[in-house]
Amino acid sequence: MLKPRALKSGDRIAVVAPASPFDREAFDRGLDELRALGFEPLFDQTVFERSGYVAGAAALRADAILTAWNDPGVTALIGVRGGYGSVQVLQHLDRERLRAHPKALIGYSDLTSLLVFLGTGCQIVCFHGPMLERKLAAGADGYDRRSFLQALTMTEPLGVLTGPHLESIRPGAAAGPLFGGTLTPIVGSLGTPFAFDPPSGSVLFLDEVSERPYRLDRMITQLRLSGIVDRAAAIVFGECPGCDEPGGTYTARGAVAAALEDFGGPVLFGLPSGHTISPALTLPFGVRARVDTSPAPRLVIQEAAVE
């Protein structure tokens, strides 16, 4: 895995919009938060393009990513929001050009398509972390500043990560490289040239929002039938807000427990990263991590994500 350079105070972070259009007020608040953290955000005016439910033509969005990636004055890229559209830019990106100058890409939700492409497709460490809208724009209520800064600026492992709602579904301990993201774009990648393809023995982090329990079951089953679940060492789920059936008859936790009842490794549920009800943690994908359920459930990042 190639690691990006550690960020330092004053570094420039390019703001990109690979997915859906966004709220300008939230965009501006997110910029202010990046400045408060000591970084200099910059963006191309094409970030404000609109084309229906996406933020401009796919080639335009891809060009903004490549321009920032190839700019020696830019240290990292961060998404504005998810929604839909990131998968459209993948055909316009070149693996070798990206690997020639590895940089930190930060995002979640629909940007999982890019995290998959960079992580398992290009072997570049990337970051399942907050974007401008909803997370950075909300300040400390929206995201965990400590894990964000430590993951991106420190050449030491992030260490123990937990959350107020984290619980063990299946006991045990296992370690391996951490990969994952939001389930919908992950399963949507299967069968394409940009398929999610983590190595055997990986720790999987899986996130979702507002998907009913039977849909979670369907996507987990698809991952199992593709062979990805069986070659994982451990699985950690996010908080999955809005995924319980109305009335509570069926729950996201219950669907996960049933779908993975014969999984051989530890399974955790409720780690706040991506779509959350708690401040969102930043997870580095592509580095070694360990899952433990005793004496308390936790994910331990054992390797630095930047150098």
Is residue 2 one of the residues assigned to a domain?
Answer: no
**Helix (H) and strand (E) counts in the chain:** 9, 14
Q: Please give the share of the chain, as a percent, with pLDDT higher than 70.
A: 100
Claim to verify: residue 119 and residue 180 sit in the same structural domain: no
- Residue 233 has a pLDDT of 98
pLDDT in tens, 105-159: 999 999 999 999 999 999 999 999 999 999 999 999 999 999 999 999 999 999 9
State the residue range of the domain holding 34. Answer: 12-153
Q: Which residues touch 233 (CB under 8 Å, ≥6 apart)?
A: 174, 175, 176, 201, 202, 203, 265, 291
Q: What is the CATH number of the domain that holds 256?
A: 3.50.30.60
Asked if pLDDT for residue 248 goes beyond 90, the answer is no
Pairwise CA distance, residues 133 & 182, whole Å: 17
Helices 252-259 and 213-225: angle between axes, nearest 10 degrees: 30
Claim to verify: residue 139 and residue 192 sit in the same structural domain: no
* Cross-strand pairs, 301: 159, 289
- Average pLDDT over every residue of 60-68: 98
For residues 137 and 289, is the Cβ–Cβ distance under 8 A? no
- Average pLDDT over every residue of 191-195: 98
> Which regions of the chain does DSSP assign to beta strands (E)?
12-16, 40-42, 74-79, 104-107, 126-128, 159-161, 167-170, 173-182, 202-207, 232-238, 267-271, 283-285, 288-292, 298-301
pLDDT in tens, 80-107: 999 999 999 999 999 999 999 999 999 9
Give the largest Cα separation in the chain, rounded: 53
Q: Which two tokens stand for residue 124?
A: 């570049």
pLDDT in tens, 290-301: 999 999 999 999
Q: What is the CATH number of the domain that holds 56?
A: 3.40.50.10740
Please give the order of strands across the beta sheet that includes 126-128: 40-42, 12-16, 74-79, 104-107, 126-128, 283-285
Q: Is 32 helix (H, G, I), strand (E, B) or coil?
A: helix
Whether the upstream peptide bond of residue 295 has omega within 30° of 0, thus cis, is yes
Claim to verify: residue 140 and residue 173 sit in the same structural domain: no
Answer with the one of 153, 178, 210 that is the final residue of a domain: 153
Claim to verify: residue 113 and residue 219 sit in the same structural domain: no
- Average pLDDT over every residue of 189-214: 98
> Which regions of 109-196 does DSSP assign to beta strands (E)?
126-128, 159-161, 167-170, 173-182
Answer with the one of 94, 127, 153 that is the final residue of a domain: 153
Answer with the one of 153, 169, 188 that is the final residue of a domain: 153
Which one, of 59, 51, 56, 48, lies nearest residue 15 by Cα? 48
Asked if pLDDT for residue 247 goes beyond 90, the answer is no
Claim to verify: residue 114 and residue 174 sit in the same structural domain: no
Asked if pLDDT for residue 28 goes beyond 90, the answer is yes
Claim to verify: residue 113 and residue 183 sit in the same structural domain: no
Pairwise CA distance, residues 28 & 33, whole Å: 9
Q: Which residues touch 43 (CB under 8 Å, ≥6 apart)?
A: 14, 15, 16
Which one, of 228, 202, 213, lies nearest residue 286 by Cα? 202
- Residue 66 has a pLDDT of 97
Is residue 228 one of the residues assigned to a domain?
Answer: yes
Q: Record the pTM.
A: 0.98
